[in-house]
């Protein structure tokens, strides 16, 4: 039985979340708390396997509460966030502080229906309860003041090695925001390839996420807009609720967005992106699959591998959830399986950015 603590200042949200979780035979709500202070006081007594945490509460806020929980008794935490720009910013800070995952706060008037939210919450709690968490070694990043990054136009690089690849495509989900920050912050501003990314996130969150990455990483990062041109040193993040694809015409590559049906349960879907990359780039693409729940990306990366693309998978030890990358590895489609911190070095080497490989590995 998975024991859960529900922390929220709203009695209605506490009841809705508790009813949802108690409806599953494998989950029970061990206790609830209207404030972070009360939650901390109950932590050692009830010893929950997972916690759902509101971000905006009277007294101590959710981010500080997560920091203290990680110091007192590290526990998997799922952030229940308001669907607003401020909620998105707080959620990103919470993930940096040690939260495992997040989702939109359940309410009685959700346009998508309460049943879908209930299934998502139960699934996330079950997955989170299996994660071994520990306090972050450094409490910085999104919660720190954004760095002032000097950006120079990406130069046309004349490479002395085999000019094999033209694009990097990355797919990730649970644990992905922190993993992507690790990868992108390890790349130099002069990284010679464009990067396209699918991170499972709702609308609003993807824009805030891209902006925060852009403020802390040397490579430029933006949320995808229809017709964005792919260029070296630019990472484009799929917009929430839109599939991201790539197309090449007359020597120029662009991204396209659509709201076709969900694929592998998601929009944006990693499978959709990778199939597009396989079709347009084939052997000239690097596909990267990282931490995440489920198997989105495994079919698309199989197509990319068959076309000769090079597939890099994050290993189990460095993953928050060993799911999406596990499927690709078990299918035999990964050319390399590496620790998260090694991915920047691998990308620098594969992209022929030899002059920057040591710099990327050292960051």
Segment 151-188, tens digit of pLDDT: 443 333 333 455 789 999 999 999 999 999 999 999 99
**Please, what is the Cα angle at 222 between 219 and 228, to 5 degrees?**
105
Q: What is the mean pLDDT, run by run of 10 residues, along the chain of 363 residues? A: 96 94 97 97 97 93 94 95 76 91 72 74 95 70 45 38 84 96 93 96 91 94 96 96 94 95 96 98 97 96 98 96 97 97 93 55 47
Active site residue 250: no
Identify whether residues 174 and 122 lie together within a single domain: no
Count Cβ neighbours within 10 Å for each residue of 260-273 and write b for 16 or more, e otherwise: eeebbebbbbbbbb
- Based on the structure, what is the number of domains in the chain? 2
133-137 contact pairs (CB < 8 A, 24+): 133/70, 133/74, 133/75, 133/76, 133/77, 133/98, 133/100, 134/70, 134/74, 135/67, 135/70, 135/71, 135/74, 135/98, 136/70, 136/96, 136/97, 136/98
**Boundary-marking domain end, from 98, 128, 158:** 128
Active site residue 173: yes
What is the average pLDDT score of the chain? 88
Identify whether residues 115 and 174 lie together within a single domain: no
Residue at 51 is within a domain: yes
Identify whether residues 350 and 255 lie together within a single domain: yes
Identify whether residues 211 and 266 lie together within a single domain: yes
CATH of the domain at 118: 3.40.50.2300
Residue at 154 is within a domain: no
Identify whether residues 225 and 117 lie together within a single domain: no
pLDDT at 156: 37
pLDDT at 117: 84
Cross-strand pairs, 2: 27
pLDDT at 245: 98
279 contact partners, CB below 8 Å, separation of at least 6 = 307
Residue at 287 is within a domain: yes
Identify whether residues 182 and 120 lie together within a single domain: no
Q: Catalytic one among 8, 200, 269, 299? A: 200
Place of tokens 């649970």: 174
Which domain range does residue 9 map to?
2-128
Identify whether residues 110 and 173 lie together within a single domain: no
Identify whether residues 42 and 191 lie together within a single domain: no
Residue at 173 is within a domain: yes
Identify whether residues 62 and 15 lie together within a single domain: yes
Identify whether residues 277 and 345 lie together within a single domain: yes
**Boundary-marking domain end, from 128, 154, 188:** 128
Q: Catalytic one among 101, 296, 299, 315? A: 296
Condensed to tens digits (0 to 9), the pLDDT of residues 234-259 reads 999 999 999 999 999 888 999 999 99
Residue at 351 is within a domain: yes
- In three-state secondary structure terms, 176 is helix
Q: Catalytic one among 173, 269, 298, 319? A: 173
- By DSSP bridging, strand 167-172 and strand 195-199 are parallel
Contact 324, 270 (CB under 8 A): yes
Residue at 98 is within a domain: yes
Identify whether residues 225 and 304 lie together within a single domain: yes
Residue at 133 is within a domain: no
Contact 238, 267 (CB under 8 A): no
CA atoms lying within 13 Å on the CB side of residue 19: 12
pLDDT at 148: 45
Active site residue 243: no
CATH of the domain at 195: 3.40.50.180
pLDDT at 108: 52
Identify whether residues 248 and 108 lie together within a single domain: no
**Boundary-marking domain end, from 101, 128, 155:** 128
Residue at 140 is within a domain: no
């Amino acid at each position: 039985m998975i024991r859960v603590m529900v922390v929220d200042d709203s009695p209605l949200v506490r009841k809705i979340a508790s009813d949802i979780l108690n409806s599953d035979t494998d989950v029970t709500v061990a206790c609830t708390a209207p404030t972070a202070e009360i939650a901390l006081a109950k932590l050692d007594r009830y010893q929950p396997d997972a916690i759902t945490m509101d971000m905006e509460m009277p007294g101590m806020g959710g981010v500080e509460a997560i920091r203290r929980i990680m110091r007192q008794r590290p526990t998997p935490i799922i952030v229940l966030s308001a669907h607003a720009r401020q909620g998105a910013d707080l959620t990103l800070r919470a993930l940096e502080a040690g939260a495992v995952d997040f989702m939109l706060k359940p309410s009685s008037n959700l346009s998508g229906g309460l049943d879908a939210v209930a299934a998502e919450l139960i699934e996330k709690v079950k997955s989170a309860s299996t994660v071994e968490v520990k306090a972050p070694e450094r409490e910085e990043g999104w919660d720190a003041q954004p760095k002032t990054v000097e950006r120079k136009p990406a130069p046309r690089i004349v490479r002395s090695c085999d000019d094999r690849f033209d694009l990097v495509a990355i797919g990730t989900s649970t644990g992905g925001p922190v993993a992507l920050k690790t990868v992108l912050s390890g790349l130099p501003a002069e990284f010679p390839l464009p990067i396209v990314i699918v991170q499972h996130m709702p609308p609003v969150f993807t824009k805030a996420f891209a902006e925060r990455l852009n403020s802390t990483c040397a490579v430029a990062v933006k949320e995808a807009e229809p017709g964005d041109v792919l260029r070296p040193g630019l990472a484009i993040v799929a917009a929430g609720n839109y599939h991201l694809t790539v197309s090449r015409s007359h020597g120029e590559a662009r991204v396209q967005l659509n709201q076709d049906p969900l694929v592998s349960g998601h929009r944006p879907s990693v499978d959709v992106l990778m199939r597009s990359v396989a079709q347009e780039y084939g052997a000239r693409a690097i596909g990267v699959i990282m931490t995440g729940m489920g198997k989105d990306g495994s079919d698309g990366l199989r197509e990319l591998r068959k076309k000769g693309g090079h597939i890099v998978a994050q290993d189990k030890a460095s993953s928050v959830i060993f799911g999406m990358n596990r499927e690709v590895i078990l299918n035999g489609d990964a050319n390399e399986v590496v620790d998260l911190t090694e991915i920047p070095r691998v990308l620098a080497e594969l992209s022929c950015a030899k002059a920057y490989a040591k710099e990327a590995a050292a960051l």
